[in-house]
Structure 1
Amino acid sequence: MTIKVGDHIPEATLVKATADGPTTISTADLFGGRTVALFSVPGAFTPTCSAKHLPGFVTHSAKLAEAGIDEVLCLSVNDAFVMAAWAKSADAVGKVTMIADGNADFTKALGLEMDASKFGMGVRGQRFSLVAKNGVVTHLFVEEPGAFTVSSAEHMLANLG
């Protein structure tokens, strides 16, 4: 079942890419007691993800903070080392926190996984974004396959007002 507005973020352990290396973190710690914007990409360093999705959230991180977002998270079914390298190459460090869901456990718990086997990528996350306040989803934007419109930072900002 796919998560929807009003649902609680499911319990899971993720891996946060930090300057000191990978660190495990619970979704309760990531989302509890604050307002978080999370966006999911099918893969780090992939074309749309690298050219549009991540750069939009990097560019608009300050505007998101002004709109009440305490932290912006980028989620991908990749490992934390790849996510850290991607953050560095995209100038995202300090603007977007990179979160690895290497086994897609959290993505599956959200009901937002996809089978990208035909592209040699296995199970990945769909392209989406959400806002959660104190662990409860307040906004959810899930893309149609192959699209990039509603999960963008610009679309999120336009819908936070």
Structure 2
Amino acid sequence: MTLSVGDTLPDVTFMTMTADGPQPMSTDDVFAGKRVALFAVPGAYTPTCSAKHLPGFIEKTSELQAKGVDRIACTSVNDVFVMGAWGKDQGVGDTVLMLADGNGDFASALGLEMDGSAFGMGKRSQRYALVVNDKVIEHFFLDEPGNFEVSSAEHVLKAL
């Protein structure tokens, strides 16, 4: 069952790359007491994710902040080293918190896991965006498989 607007996010542990190496971050660490624009991609370094999805959120950071977003975060079912390298390659700096959902626990708990085995990718996350206010889903935008529309930074901004 997929979570929806008004639901509280599940408690999971992400991994994020820091100057001191990989560090765990709980759902509370990321979302408690904050309004967060979170977007999920099927895979780091994949064409749409690298050319459009992540760059769109980097580009729209100040506009999202002006609409009351405290933090922007990106998650993918990739390991922390891949997410850290991808963030560095994309120049995210402090604008986007890169959250590795290495085992897909978050995607699965949200009911947003997809099977990319036909493409050699195994279990992954669907493409979506959430606006989360203190761990409660305020807005939920799920793209149809193979599409990139409603989870874009531009679409999220229009809803805020």
TM-score w.r.t. length of structure 1: 0.97
1:17: Cα distance to partner?
A: 2.1
Which ranges in structure 2 are unaligned for 5 or more consecutive residues?
none
Residue in structure 2 matched with residue 102 of structure 1 by the alignment: 102
1:137 matches 2:137: yes
Q: Secondary structure at the match of 1:107?
A: helix
The question of 1:125 aligning with 2:148 is answered no
Deviation per CA, 1:68-109, whole angstroms, max 9, x where unpaired?
111100000001111111111111121111000000011100
Runs of 4 or more, structure 1, over 6 Å off, are none
- Amino acid aligned to 2:131: V
Give SS of 1:151's match: coil
Query: How far apart, CA to CA, are the structure 2 residues paired with 1:14 and 1:140?
Result: 20
- Report matched runs for 1:68-83 at 5 Å: 68-83=68-83
Give the Cα separation in 2 of the matches to 1:144 and 1:20: 38
1:15 equivalenced with 2:15 (yes/no): yes
TM-score of the pair, normalised by structure 2: 0.98
Partner letter of residue 92 of structure 1? V
Distance 2:20 2:159 in 1: 35
2:115 is aligned to 115
**1-structure distance, mates of 2:94, 2:151:** 21
Q: Please tell me whether the aligned partners of residues 31 and 134 of structure 1 are also in contact (alpha carbons under 8 angstroms).
A: yes
Root-mean-square deviation over aligned CA pairs: 0.7
C-alpha separation between the residues in 2 aligned to 1:90 and 1:25?
A: 21
Structure 1: segments with no counterpart, 5+ residues = none
Question: Amino acid of the residue matched to residue 20 of structure 2?
Answer: D
